[in-house]
Amino acid sequence: MTEDPKLELFRRRRMRYAERKLLEAQRRLTRAERSILHWTRTLADLKHETVRAVQPTLWPEEENASKD
């Protein structure tokens, strides 16, 4: 039984198209996983971040007194 050349061409085109779509979907998945990991870490950092109630002085006290 001989294969129809047009049918074989059509089959190869569909195969290339399906492979390309699969690669695109895998890339999107990889990017999404990386994004989820990044934002999970960012959120954890923000939750556990300590905030100072008072900012420490920028200059030692003796310098402030001598400028006045």
pLDDT at 64: 61
Query: What mean pLDDT value characterizes the chain?
Result: 86
pLDDT at 18: 98
3-state secondary structure 7-45: HHHHHHHHHHHHHHHHHHHHHHHHHHHHHHHHHHHHHHH
The structure's pTM equals: 0.58
Residue 54 three-state SS: coil
